[in-house]
Chains A and B, each alone.
Chain A
């Protein structure tokens, strides 16, 4: 089963690589001009560009050459930054990872317990508050939440820095708190909803009734239900990822953080296509890997699927 998934993932990545490669050729405007960027379009420069990008070769050859480069780590040059794309991404990767990690941790720490409590006392005060927060978190766009938080914390409660990435690990972390909270609002709402729904269903299951009826303490019963609920929660993780990818761009833009999100936005607006291509591929790869990990987690969590997978 897993082998099939790996093959499927590889196929999707292959198709995406073609799409991403075509981006350069399908983008409106003169290709050479786009590749030249701000340099003057002298005949020599144009010739150099045509030579450098092998634009006179047939498209499949160009694709294979490009793919070969990508696979060996050569992602091309950024016109805007005048550096290699790999360097541009490398220097910003850390901040984005830290932001996502922090937001993810916050979302889990708040979302899961709140989701469990909401399900345990469905209809109670915690549940209703949680549901209300969840709706806001799910529907409010990251940047709108971010700007409101920015206003509150810059104006009324100036305890967090409002712009920039900070210097040194601790200062960076400090600068990331507010953006991470912003991002975690949406993430947490998804976690809360997944957890609540899964827990509600599990708590209603016969095995929970049966456990309660034979005197098993409530704390153990809840752990039992949560262990069963883990399966749908983990399978729902792809939702988190989809949100995180878009949310990071918005959160970084809102707080002017020099991460991959702002890199993407600037590159898109500047038509710095090599960077856009590289980032798109990177995101696709991350999504594919996480989806595979979720499948593996599913196998680990559910003995029934494990048994079938073993037999097949």
Chain B
């Protein structure tokens, strides 16, 4: 019998059972995707197959590689026969999975020596390392570089070379592209697929992102709360999901929704695509020629932006494009070096002093650090209400407005989920009745399902409160779902501006086309022609 067979009886942690019984098999050269949100047990499953569960966790079951049986409860000595030769693990973050103080060459060489079971001569190693680097499309000189001297994509290639240098029968890739930007993601996944085919190596791809695996793995296993809820061939699961949870995952996945939108059969965005109402009213915020430098680096290089009352204005760009800095200048958290920002027709001086809480509020990306951990939700909201001159007993109404139960008031942030915390952050922002709500990547740190809920909430709030929203995001699909207008920012400049449909369906600029293509490719696994 060739190939990989896994039969896990269960994985338990200090707090009780974490993963239920599950079994799967992967043919040589084939691949299986293990999909689940954080907390589903997918990473524990991966780590149990190399005997590297965190302290306090234990797995029962068996791993069979080409008929050789390896119990999951085992000593370090027997795991040593499995790790590297039978199974290897590729981790998520190439910034931390390589030792920062060693050059890349030796890190690959160690795997080679571990496999050979003896010291190899320098010449042998140099040659072998160069070969391995060539396999992942890297030049031989990378061997002499330190990890910090390489880009994220290159580092992940080095990590791949190191992980497969022992020629394992199974490669477990745990979210291998989550820490990379869009253009690198596809390349890394394609490279893995290629390497797999060449070597007849099985792959277990672990991801939270169902869209990512389309066209890239043969089979899918969907996990939730430690249980497998659905399994089957990738094409079948994506086109005809059986379990309600899988359907929800697909529906909530903006990348897949974007794909669906293009084929013309589903979901319109929440945005009022009219474009007319933007022109009809005098702008609430008008920024023109905004320049911001950090030291020698110019982050904003003369940006114009205007937001009409009641409008949702999306600003998209990759990380480092300056979109967040623009939001922070408008909010007064950064002081622009040049240009003017006017609110309701009156120009505002740079900084917080010239602004009032009733003008604008901001909702940040990370719901874990945007609430004071030492204050109860009620105290947080009462403080914000007091600023707006409102009564403390309006906390209840505020909680209802953002869809939280009333008893949330007595809880601390640590007792809430990420999505709930983000609702609290929105409630706090709404408390002084601002006329502009700035959302700086406000849904990026959330699970896909929660993302959709928060987007719905924002759309509803705009309709109910007639509030304008400046929505900053790197995710085109998310922006498409919510925004009326889109401004594309690249290297501190506005590349393109228009209604959501104009910009995203029929981009005028090359850069925008590139972005749209990357988002599209991301979900389909192939690069569209043109």
Indicate if the CB atoms of A215 and B148 lie closer than 8 Å: no
Tally of A-B residue pairs with Cβ under 8 A?
90
Residue among A210, A211, A228, A301 facing the most chain B CB atoms (10 A cut-off): A210
A231→B100 CA distance, assembly (Å): 11
Q: In the complex, are the beta carbons of A214 and B146 less than 8 A apart?
A: no
Q: Does A212 contact B (CB under 8 A)?
A: yes
Say yes or no: B76 contacts A214, CB within 8 Å: no
Q: Is B162 an interface residue (CB 8 A)?
A: yes
Which of A123, A210, A217 is the one whose CB lies under 8 Å from B91?
A210
Chain B, 103-137, CB within 8 A of any chain A CB: 110-111, 114-115
Contact B83 A215 (CB under 8 A): yes
Expressed in whole angstroms, the Cα–Cα distance for A211 and B87 within the complex equals 12
- The answer for the CA separation of A303 and B149 in the assembled complex, in Å, is 10
**B315 on the A face (CB < 8 A):** no
Give B122-162 as 1s and 0s: 1 = Cβ < 8 Å from A's Cβ atoms: 00000000000000000000000010110000000001001
Separation of A214 and B114 alpha carbons in the complex (Å): 8
Q: Which residues of B contact A210 (CB under 8 A)?
A: 89-91, 97-98, 159, 162-163
Does A303 contact B114, Cβ atoms closer than 8 Å?
A: no
Please measure, in the bound complex, the distance between the C-alpha atom of A218 and the C-alpha atom of B76, giving whole angstroms.
9
Give chain B residues whose Cβ lies under 8 Å from the Cβ of A122: 55
How many Å from the CB of B10 to the closest CB on chain A? 22
A214-B111, A215-B166, A307-B148 as given contacts; A228 in contact with B99, CB under 8 Å: yes
Docked pose: A205 CA to B98 CA in angstroms = 9
A303 contacts B146, C-beta separation under 8 Å: yes
Contact B91 A209, beta carbon cutoff 8 Å: yes
The answer to whether B101 and A209 touch across the interface, beta carbons within 8 angstroms, is: no
A206 touches B165 (CB 8 A): no
In Å, the complex CA distance between A220 and B110 comes to: 8
Q: Residue B239 at the A interface, CB < 8 A?
A: no
Q: What string of 1s and 0s marks CB contacts (under 8 Å) between A199-229 and chain B?
A: 0000001110111111111101000100110
Which of B84, B85, B115 is the most central at the interface, judged by chain A CB atoms within 10 Å of its CB? B84
The answer to whether B96 touches A207, judged by C-beta atoms less than 8 angstroms apart, is: yes
A304 touches B146 (CB 8 A): yes
Contact B89–A215 (Cβ < 8 Å): no
- The yes or no answer to B45 lying at the interface (CB within 8 A) is no
Nearest chain B CB to A231 CB, angstrom units: 7
Contact A211 B101 (CB under 8 A): no
Q: Which residue of B lies closest to A225 (CB)?
A: B99
Take A206-B91, A303-B101 as given contacts and tell me if A211 and B148 are in contact as well, using a CB distance cutoff of 8 Å.
Answer: no
Give the docked Cα–Cα distance between A303 and B85 (Å). 31
Q: Which residues of A contact B114 (CB under 8 A)?
A: 214-217, 220
Contact residues in B for A51 (Cβ distance below 8 Å)? none
Q: Which 8 A-B pairs give the minimum distances between C-beta atoms?
A: A215-B84, A213-B89, A206-B96, A215-B83, A206-B97, A210-B97, A207-B99, A303-B146
> Could you show 9 A-B contacts with beta carbons less than 8 Å apart?
A207-B96, A209-B52, A210-B162, A211-B99, A213-B87, A214-B83, A216-B110, A216-B114, A303-B101
- A residues touching B (Cβ–Cβ < 8 Å)? 122-123, 205-207, 209-218, 220, 224, 227-228, 231, 301-304, 307
